[in-house]
Amino acid sequence: MASSAGRALAIPRLFPKKTPLPWLKPGVFVGCLAPIPVIVWRGATGRLAADPVASILNQFGYLALTLLMASLLCTPLKIAGGWSWGVRLRRMLGLFAFFYASLHFLTYLIVDQSLNLRAVFDDVTKRNFILVGFLALVTLIPLAITSTNGMVRRMGFVRWKRLHRLAYVAGCLGALHFIWRVKVDLREPAIFASILAAGLVLRGFDTVRKRRRKRRSSRAGAAAR
Ligand code: HEM
């Protein structure tokens, strides 16, 4: 029998360890859902633009891209500024991006195209801007499906992490979709593209730095042996 003397006493925590910024996740959750009642209210009171379907379609697309960019910024913010709180929001922001991208697509499919699959197929195959949007949505699907802790365990962290790099591909496709949609005034898409590029550059630097550190410590380990 193991002696109890060497064993650490398992004292149940009376007060669980406090999470810093406990309001952060619920606050962001409510913030991400807030546009829905606003859009419904504006629609019900006739406050949408002259073409309400186009207005709703664009708002859902814009929300999807904004939240996708926000989720892609979480890790670069930690690398550059040490703000680790963003990492706790990454999954939620990514899932909300997928949620709004799905609403965007469903508005297009059901309301704009009246479920005419032939017309949708023609649009996807003939208009580059629609094809790129479609590819962005398709890229987001495996990421949403594998976003649970159970899936991380089942796939193994390394494979899961490799798959989730696709989020940057979805971001690039979403930004390109936006650039081709606006055509002339590229100021807003340029902001999205710059954020994405800055995030990618920071992550690239971080990967190189980590690899160098690993190589140096393995060399130091070999020299000590
Ligand atoms: C099958 C997938 C998709 C289809 C068919 C589609 C289609 C469309 C259409 C028809 C428009 C409006 C164009 C116009 O009014 O001239 C639009 C706008 C837009 N879409 Fe998509 N889209 C898709 C996926 C996505 C995804 C995944 C994102 C984001 C990640 C996205 C972001 C946007 C943005 C930002 C706009 C412009 C919004 C604005 O002007 O304020 N779309 N899309």
**pLDDT bucket at 60, cuts 50 / 70 / 90:** very high
Q: Which residue type, as a one-letter code, is found at position 189?
A: P
What is the C-alpha to C-alpha distance for residues 113 and 130, in angstroms, rounded to an integer?
Answer: 13
Whether 14 has a pLDDT exceeding 70, the answer reads no
Where do the structural domains in the chain lie, given as residue ranges?
24-203
What is the C-alpha to C-alpha distance for residues 153 and 149, in angstroms, rounded to an integer?
Answer: 6
What is the C-alpha to C-alpha distance for residues 169 and 150, in angstroms, rounded to an integer?
Answer: 24
CB of residue 134 inside a 6 A radius of ligand 1: yes
**Mean pLDDT throughout 148-175?**
96
The count of C-alpha atoms lying within 13 angstroms of the C-alpha of 210, restricted to the half-sphere facing its C-beta, is 7
The residue nearest atom 12 of ligand 1, judged by CA position, is: 58
What is the C-alpha to C-alpha distance for residues 178 and 190, in angstroms, rounded to an integer?
Answer: 10
Neighbours of 133 (CB within 10 A): 27
Extract the tokens encoding 189: 């898409």
What is the C-alpha to C-alpha distance for residues 175 and 181, in angstroms, rounded to an integer?
Answer: 10
Q: Three-class SS of residue 207?
A: helix
Entry pTM: 0.88
The pLDDT tens digits for 80-111 are: 888 888 899 999 999 999 999 999 999 999 99
CB of residue 58 inside a 6 A radius of ligand 1: yes
Instruction: Note the helical H segments in the chain.
Output: 24-33, 35-44, 52-81, 90-106, 117-126, 128-145, 149-155, 157-164, 166-182, 187-224
Cα 59 to middle of ligand 1, angstroms = 9
pLDDT on residue 122: 97
CB of residue 62 inside a 6 A radius of ligand 1: yes
What is the C-alpha to C-alpha distance for residues 96 and 218, in angstroms, rounded to an integer?
Answer: 41
What is the C-alpha to C-alpha distance for residues 214 and 207, in angstroms, rounded to an integer?
Answer: 11
pLDDT on residue 1: 40
Cα 88 to middle of ligand 1, angstroms = 28
pLDDT on residue 10: 58
Q: Residues 94, 147: contact at Cβ < 8 Å?
A: yes
Tell me the torsion sign for CA atoms 148, 141, 93, 194. Answer: positive
